[in-house]
Structure 1
Amino acid sequence: MHGRYYRSSHTCKSLLAVTVTCEDLDFPPGFQFGAASAAYQVEGAWNVSDKSENIWDRLVRDKPELIADRSTGDVACDSYHLWRRDVEMTADLGLHFYRISIAWTRLLPNGFANKISEDGLNYYNNVIDGLLEKGIQPMVTLYHWDLPQSLQDLGGWTNPLIVNWFGNYARIAFSLFGDRVKTWITINEPLIMCDVPYNTGSMAPAIVNPDVGAHLCAKNVLMAHAKAWRIYDKEFRPKYHGELSLANHLIWYEPFTPEDEEITETAREYMAGRYSHPIYSKEGGWPPVIEKIMAENSKAKGYSESNLPAFTKEEIDLVRGTFDFYAVNHYTSRHTQGEEGEEFGAFRSDVPDVGAKYEINPDWKPTTSSWFFVYPEGLRNQIVWLREQYGDMKFIVTENGYARLKGLDDTDRIEYYTEYLKQLLLAMKVDHVNVSGYTHWSLMDNFEWLDGYTSKFGLYEVNFTDPMRERTPRASANYYSKIIKQRKLDICC
């Protein structure tokens, strides 16, 4: 069934005819623009000084076949040595903030809080201070998938003790950098760091254990986030007045036919609700529909209890309300139907536990990443859905970007920006959602996990054969800089 697709009520709202004037394309006062990167993807210097091994250092050596070009992040963009150039690029773009992450093993080589690396501390101080000297605010992510291998050897995110390990790490970071960092992301994309490794074995730590491992990870990640938020709220907020959240990877789902509306909503709860409902809902805990389905599925598989670990009353209270904003990482969308629906040639299901299948609309433009198809309306639909589910709050788009091949004339990326930012403005001006910032992924080309260096997301092209990793601005860098300076989309007249 290609050609015509059913639009749900959520989608219809976004497709109402709206007359967009040039004034409507202005961003409101105070709206901020940024760009992002992550430690393993850009820093390199994987074994410099006393930095220890993380789970991606191990994966690229033990299973190089998982990476498209069999590359590693050993050197990457060499930002550990070239951080001054990175800061210069953020200033040239006119960014309001730059989202970075701290490599846990670079700051705490043992994984535990008993030793702080002097060299690691100096590096992050240099980056943070360098940004501030240019008038650019650092947005710092504590965890972007690079768990210390020493902790993975103890069970990693499936060990409930990691809640305290992460809390201790967070406390160290808050104490060292909290006087200058006012916006924190505790953990990046629980969906990707739990579901993908344990369901498919294709990302670090690449342990296939979908029945148990993925769900233990999910609960422990939420508990660890809450632990860090509570530590900041009690010990550091009175002094530093910062804000924290975790960042969710959100694929927007639309029903394939009217009969698929219910399964699509269940898929949304599985995709977004599992890592949102415990934090942002008034009730807390897992989404009830997911709890019910998981209990039934576990029983059908012969387990004596649900594989989705229950929250105690105390744990529900600990996790609920641990946010200052909602951090949205959004790239792409899918059409969804139930298992009994029409068969189609599609990708593997992202939502096996709820009995949903998905397909790609053939009108959606593909990118160089196999999972990524362009559907700008999905960003607006997703944010509106979150507001409807969890109420009014502040939203920040903490990742959104476009994958392509090399080259400086990236007009396709400029088109992507324009259409996605237009949808963001509609969410703000028509749907009245409070969105305070937008973050482009990524500042520069980097190690894109399973894609290696084959997919380019950067505003700046990086020459990975050059020992100095020369960075060159693309056409999109100039376009993004113009948007930031003019504070509007430049598509009129």
Structure 2
Amino acid sequence: MKIVAVFNYLLSFLIAYWNTESVAEDEFIYGQFPSYFRWGIGTSSYQVEGAWNLDGKGENIWDNFTHSTPSPIKDGSTGDFACDSYHKYEEDSKLVKSIGVDFYRFSISWSRILPLGTKEKVNQAGIDYYNNLINSLIHHEITPVISIHHWDLPMPLQNKGGWTNEEMIEHFGDFARILYANFGDRVKQWFTFNEAWVICVMGYGDGIFAPGVKEITETPYTCIHTILKAHAQAYRIYDLEFRDEQQGQVGITIDSGWLEPSDPNKLEDIEASERALQFKFGMFASPIVFGKYPDIVRKSVDERSKQEGRSTSRLPSFDKYWTDYIKGSYDFIGLNHYSSYLVTSASSDPGPGWYGDQNAVTFQDPSWPETGSTWLRPVPWGFRKVLNWIKNTFNNPPLIVTENGYSDLPDVGLNDYGRIEYYKGYINNLLKAVIIDGCNVRGYSAWSLMDNFEWASGYTERFGLHWVNFTDPSRERIPKESVKYLRKVFLSNGFPKPTLPWNSIQLNEQCAAVALDPDTSF
């Protein structure tokens, strides 16, 4: 069994490395994406809407979490007002249009639609708000793309145990059905969950995100298990009740960095890298593609649970019904990717739970550039590698890059040239993955339309293409330099090669300037 496992690890990584060797990691290439490729920009409800208690909206877990004393948020802030997109949705639609994208990915506040979390009370004002937003986007020739759940669970449902309670499966299905019925005539792409790993590990394990539950040994696995069932429920509801008439698609967004073996010549590090990838991305992709948790995850948690004297594994199992119900419950998969990490095998056992079970330690190379977020260092070549790993591990599923973005260094203001360099490198590696490696990526969405409430970091980190003045009640949005650069990339559908009547040295110098300078025409 050990020999087979090692062979599979090596084969996976050899394929990935072979595919990426034809162009050097740091080599810039010119080219355009296929004609079907679509460009987008994204936000989420709690981060931008504000209006936390207006017009019949109920309390959600982030409302409750940020109002706690002492505050769990770095700057003590909340999303009560945020960017005030609840009142400024028309302005935001114009901003989206100005960037030159095809679609706008946003999420629905569950508590704005269902104040109690259940179908018994539907808030018409919430329905009206999202209808207005959707219609405004369509008026500006922008396709609306919806994430059904981006972390803001209604507080009444959390009081029942939240995602550790399988009652949520039915409630989530009811919520999805209401959205399909009210918006599905115009919305044709749906993501059921955004980054369920963050919900389950950071919200129900570490407790540093809402709802602030600190129990790392079992609760994250229970949460993941419930969310996968809820995702499948929402997918099957669309399949049976809405697809024939609405002709849309449903998927799920999974987050993952690239996890590079610290020493690519060391078998233990290669194995640790594969384990870490499967515990992160594979936990969600494997059930919906293959109907089961990754074998390496299953084996690790089962064995460690037995060693702990448990009669059952800390990782639940799907019975035949749920295996069949979850398997194939996707029309596409969303990928959120920001950065990469080095991985090595753990030298000591950190104990039971999601971190300890994978027997891997991740860290970042201090020589990689810094950003305004400690966890985010630009590693453009890692983007191409994770896309190839997904292609080779999960039969090249249709992918949409749903988030990819950069956090400004302090005091950058509008001159966000670090973001321009980040997008240049990452989108170019995406281009390599699509046109050289054959990765089945259909679209790309940058994060984010504007600076917003950055969860536990509050307003101390800025990911937006537009600078927002959070001390001004009008929440003015001002475009940063990166808007001009990305608009040219989007409208050009990539990086078309300039045609200039100069010698090769002059041409190469001019090409480099075009690639980096947002004021230089392609």
TM-score band w.r.t. shorter chain: over 0.9
Q: Confirm or deny: 8 A CA contact 2:33 2:435 kept in the other structure.
A: no
**Are the structure 2 counterparts of residues 15 and 449 from structure 1 closer, same or farther at C-alpha, using a change threshold of 3 Å?**
farther
Which of 476, 489, 493 is equivalent to 2:482?
Answer: 476
Q: Which moved more, 1:413-422 or 1:363-372?
A: 363-372
* Corresponding residue for residue 303 of structure 1: 310
Structure 2 residue 407 is matched with structure 1 residue 403 = yes
1:461·1:474 contact (CA, 8 Å) conserved in 2? yes
Letter of the structure 1 residue corresponding to residue 390 of structure 2: L
Per the alignment, residue 98 of structure 2 pairs with 92
Letter in 2 for 1:367: T
Aligned residue number for residue 164 of structure 1: 170
Change (3 A) 1:333 1:350: farther
What is the aligned partner in structure 1 of residue 33 from structure 2?
Answer: 27
1:176-200 deviations in Å (ceiling 9; x for gaps): 0000000101000011010112221
- Select 1:434's aligned residue among 437, 440, 444: 440
Who is 1:277 aligned against? 286
TM-score, normalized by length of structure 2? 0.89
Q: 1:52 to 1:95 in 2, by over 3 A?
A: same
What is the distance in 1 between the residues matched to 2:399 and 2:426?
15
Q: Decide which of 150, 158, 162 is 2:156's aligned counterpart.
A: 150
Aligned to 2:207: 201
Determine the structure 2 residue equivalent to 1:323: 330
The answer to whether the 8 A contact 2:217-2:354 is kept is no
Q: 2:151 and 2:25 mapped to 1: Cα distance? A: 42
Matches within 5 A, 1:363-378: 363-378=367-382
Residue 27 of structure 1, CA deviation: 2.1
* Contact 1:36–1:443, Cα closer than 8 Å, also in 2: yes
The alpha carbon displacement at 1:15 in A equals 4.1
Looking at structure 2, the residues matched to 24 and 244 of structure 1 have their Cα atoms a distance apart, in angstroms, of: 33
Select between 287-296 and 214-223 the one with higher mean Cα deviation. 287-296
Corresponding residue SS for 2:145? strand
Question: Which residue identity does 1:256 align to in structure 2?
Answer: S
Q: Is the 8 A contact 1:8 1:254 kept in 2?
A: no
After TM superposition, list the pairs within 5 Å mapping 1:229-244 onto structure 2. Answer: 229-244=235-250
Which shows bigger deviation, 149-158 or 388-397? Answer: 388-397
The CA distance in 2 between the partners of 1:117 and 1:204, in whole Å, is 24
Q: What is the distance in 1 between the residues matched to 2:417 and 2:389?
A: 30
Query: Distance between the aligned counterparts of 2:354 and 2:314, measured in 1?
Result: 18
Aligned equivalent of 1:290: 297
Counterparts of 2:24 and 2:214 in 1: how far apart (Å)?
A: 47
The answer on whether the counterparts of 1:418 and 1:489 sit within 8 Å (CA) in structure 2 is: no
Which secondary structure does the structure 2 equivalent of 1:331 belong to? Answer: coil
Please give the TM-score of this superposition, normalised by the length of structure 1.
0.94
- CA deviations 1:12-46 (Å, max 9, x no partner) are 64244359999842222121111000000000000
Q: Which residue, 180, 202, 205 being the options, matches 1:174?
A: 180
Q: Which residue of 2 aligns with 1:489?
A: 495
1:262 to 271, 275, 278: 271
Q: Do 1:64 and 1:71's aligned partners in 2 also have CA atoms closer than 8 Å?
A: no
Aligned length: 479
3-state SS of 1:154 partner: coil
Superimposed CA distance per residue, residues 137-181 of structure 1 (whole angstroms, 9 cap, x where no aligned partner): 000010000000000000100001111110010000000000000
For residues 179-194 of structure 1, the aligned pairs below 5 Å read 179-194=185-200
Asked if 1:419 is matched to 2:425, the reply is yes
3-state SS of the aligned residue for 1:217? helix
Worse overlay, 136-145 or 20-29: 20-29
Q: What SS is found at the alignment partner of 1:210?
A: coil
- Contact in 2 for aligned 1:69/1:452 (Cα 8 Å): yes
Structure 1 residue 302 displacement after superposition: 2.7
| 1:389 and 2:393 correspond | yes
Q: Who is 1:4 aligned against?
A: none
**1:11 shift after superposition:** 4.3
> Within 2, Cα distance between the matches of 1:25 and 1:463?
37
State the AA in 1 paired with 2:293.
Answer: W
Are the aligned partners of 1:44 and 1:74 in contact in 2 as well (CA < 8 Å)? yes
Using the TM superposition, give the Cα deviation of residue 286 of structure 1 relative to its aligned residue in structure 2, in angstroms.
0.9
Q: Could you tell me whether the CA contact under 8 Å between 1:271 and 1:351 is conserved in 2?
A: no
Q: Contact (CA 8 Å) 2:26, 2:381: kept in 1 or not?
A: no
CA distance in 1, matches of 2:488, 2:433: 22
Are 1:103 and 2:109 an aligned pair?
A: yes
**AA at the equivalent of 1:266:** R
The answer on whether the counterparts of 2:259 and 2:273 sit within 8 Å (CA) in structure 1 is yes
Checking the alignment, whether the CA contact within 8 Å between 2:192 and 2:234 is kept in structure 1 is yes
State the 1:364 CA deviation: 1.4
Question: Which one-letter code corresponds to 1:403 in the other structure?
Answer: S
Distance, in Å, in 2 between the alignment partners of 1:176 and 1:466 is 34
1:483 Cα deviation after fit = 1.3
Range with bigger deviation, 388-397 or 459-468: 388-397
Alpha-carbon distance between aligned partners in 2 of 1:217 and 1:169, rounded to the nearest angstrom = 18
Q: Calculate percent identity across the aligned residue pairs.
A: 40
Q: Measure the CA separation in 1 of the matches of 2:403 and 2:21.
A: 23
Q: 1:69 to 1:21 in 2, by over 3 A?
A: closer
Give CA-to-partner distance per residue, 1:320-356, whole Å, 9 cap, x none. Answer: 0011112110001111111239x9xxxxx98321111
Q: Matched residues in 2 for 1:222 and 1:412: separation?
A: 37
| Residues 230 and 19 of structure 1: CA distance in aligned 2, closer, same or farther (over 3 Å) | closer
* 1:209-235 residue CA offsets vs partner (Å, 9 max, x unmatched): 112211110000100000000000111
Structure 1 alignment gaps of length 5 or more:
1-6, 344-348
Match of 1:355 among 348, 353, 359: 359
